[in-house]
Amino acid sequence: MDNLLLALAACAVVIAVTVAVRAYYALRSYKQRFRWTDDDLLDARRDSVARSHSTVSGKVQEHLAPLFPQFCAEFNPRDARFLGSPVDFVVFDGLDSGELDRVVFVEVKTGASALSKRERQVRQAIELGRVGWRELRLPAPELSGSRT
């Protein structure tokens, strides 16, 4: 009888270990196929919302920059023209008063944001003097028919 109980106990241990090993490998396989947990998804969504908020806030501040004291201390807001890309503003400094002094390209940044590759290229072209003027004349449209 003791041998039977011992054999049954040994079988139970073997079955338990087998089930545990299979469960371990099944979980490992599942994690390899589905790496992200619900918490990871929640964290990613929070991060996405925060980044989106930061981006939208930055875009709004770009448009409103001429109203900020930092901008007004250096330029007349009436001299600024918004472009948005690849630079935010072109300031025709002094144009509103009738005496154009200089043309300034202004990029507005908030927080710790850095210039993009395109913005750095524009800055470099301006600093190297690779800036020009071109007047482009388009043909006048021909009016067809006459009014009677």
Which 3-state string (H, E, C) describes 35-79? Answer: CCCHHHHHHHHHHHHHHHHHHHHHHHHHHHHHHCHHHHCCCCHHH
Domain presence at residue 141: no
Q: What is the mean pLDDT of each run of 10 residues along the chain (148 residues)?
A: 83 92 90 82 91 87 92 96 94 96 94 92 96 93 72
Look at residue 75 and tell me if it is in a domain. Answer: yes
CA separation, residue 117 to residues 114, 124, 139 (Å): 9, 11, 36
Asked if residue 60 is part of any domain, the answer here is yes
Total tally of structural domains belonging to the chain:
1
pLDDT given for residue 145 in this prediction? 66
Res 94: pLDDT: 96
Structural domain boundaries enclosing 90 = 49-127
Residue 92 covered by a domain: yes
pTM for the model: 0.63
Tell me, yes or no, whether 137 lies in a domain.
no
Residue 142 belongs to a domain: no
53: left (phi over 0), alpha (psi -120 to 50) or beta: alpha
Query: Distance (Å, rounded) from C-alpha 37 to C-alpha 39?
Result: 5
| Sequence letter at residue 83 | L
pLDDT digits (tens, 9 = 90+) for 23-35: 999 988 888 888 7
Whether 36 maps to a domain, the answer reads no
Residue 31 lies in a domain: no
